[in-house]
């Protein structure tokens, strides 16, 4: 077992774990194992519950937007010792494809609510006249942003927000927001 682009070992909980989670969320995703030396030696964690509480509180209180719904923090036994894992850190996506698809939502126990999703222009707070969310044939999966007015072009950058509403297994709804900017088409 070795560290790599999507695996990080930590001897114990420290605040720099937040930076690792943010880095994973902005790139390929990954896993953090707490209670493992940099060389892969499993040393274990004496207070698993306390460590899990510290980790989840730090993620919820320090990382915005809230990433906790996309993390799995759990106890795992390795070589007869208890470690804490932060697994399934979401993989980052480019802003153009910044739509959380149904596969991701279902894998995390979330359901996308299409009728409560939108692409909003910041200055007006209204649904964008330039772009909309294109949905899969079954209407359940957002696939990409599509131009609504193919024959017109905006004259300046338009700050916008992509809003995807998801529901957890308890019926609680959350809105995942991603700030984006629609830019003029300069191709001639």
Residues 137-186: tens digit of each pLDDT: 887 776 667 777 655 556 667 788 878 787 877 788 877 777 777 666 55
Q: How far is CA 124 from the centre of its chain?
A: 27
CA dist., res. 3 & res. 117, Å (int): 38
CA dihedral 145, 148, 151, 152 (to 10 degrees): -90
Q: Which helix (H) or strand (E) element contains residue 118?
A: strand 118-121
Confidence at residue 66, expressed as pLDDT on a 0 to 100 scale: 67
CA dist., res. 32 & res. 130, Å (int): 40
Q: For 14-18, what is the mean pLDDT?
A: 86
> Would you tell me the crossing angle of helices 17-25 and 48-62 to the nearest 10 degrees?
60
Q: Which residue has the tokens 């153009």?
A: 96
For residue 65, whether the previous peptide bond is cis, meaning omega lies within 30 degrees of 0, is yes
Give the chain's length. 188
**CB–CB of 175/163 below 8 Å?**
yes
CA dist., res. 96 & res. 170, Å (int): 31
pLDDT cut 90: percent of the chain above it? 21
Residue of 62 and 66 predicted with greater confidence: 62
Nearest to 85 by CA among 160, 7, 158: 7
Q: Report the chain's mean pLDDT, rounded to a whole number.
A: 77
Radius of gyration over every alpha carbon of the chain, rounded to an integer in angstroms: 20
Q: For 14-41, what is the mean pLDDT?
A: 84
């Amino acid at each position: 077992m070795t560290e790599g682009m999507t695996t990080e070992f930590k001897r114990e909980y420290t605040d720099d774990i937040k930076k690792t989670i943010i880095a994973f969320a902005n790139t390929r995703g990954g896993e953090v194992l707490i209670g493992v030396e940099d060389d892969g030696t499993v040393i274990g964690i004496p207070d698993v519950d306390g460590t899990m509480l510290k980790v989840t509180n730090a993620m919820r209180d320090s990382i915005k937007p809230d990433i906790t719904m996309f993390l799995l923090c759990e106890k795992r036994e390795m070589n007869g010792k208890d470690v804490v894992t932060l697994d399934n850190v979401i993989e980052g996506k480019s802003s153009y494809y910044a739509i959380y698809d149904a596969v991701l939502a279902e894998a995390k126990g979330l359901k996308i609510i299409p009728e409560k999703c939108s692409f909003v222009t910041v200055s007006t707070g209204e649904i964008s006249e330039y772009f909309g969310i294109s949905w899969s044939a079954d209407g359940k999966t957002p696939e990409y942003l599509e131009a609504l007015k193919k024959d017109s072009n905006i004259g300046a950058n338009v700050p916008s927000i992509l809003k995807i509403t998801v529901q957890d297994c308890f019926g609680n709804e959350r809105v995942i927001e991603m700030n984006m900017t629609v830019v003029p088409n300069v191709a001639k």
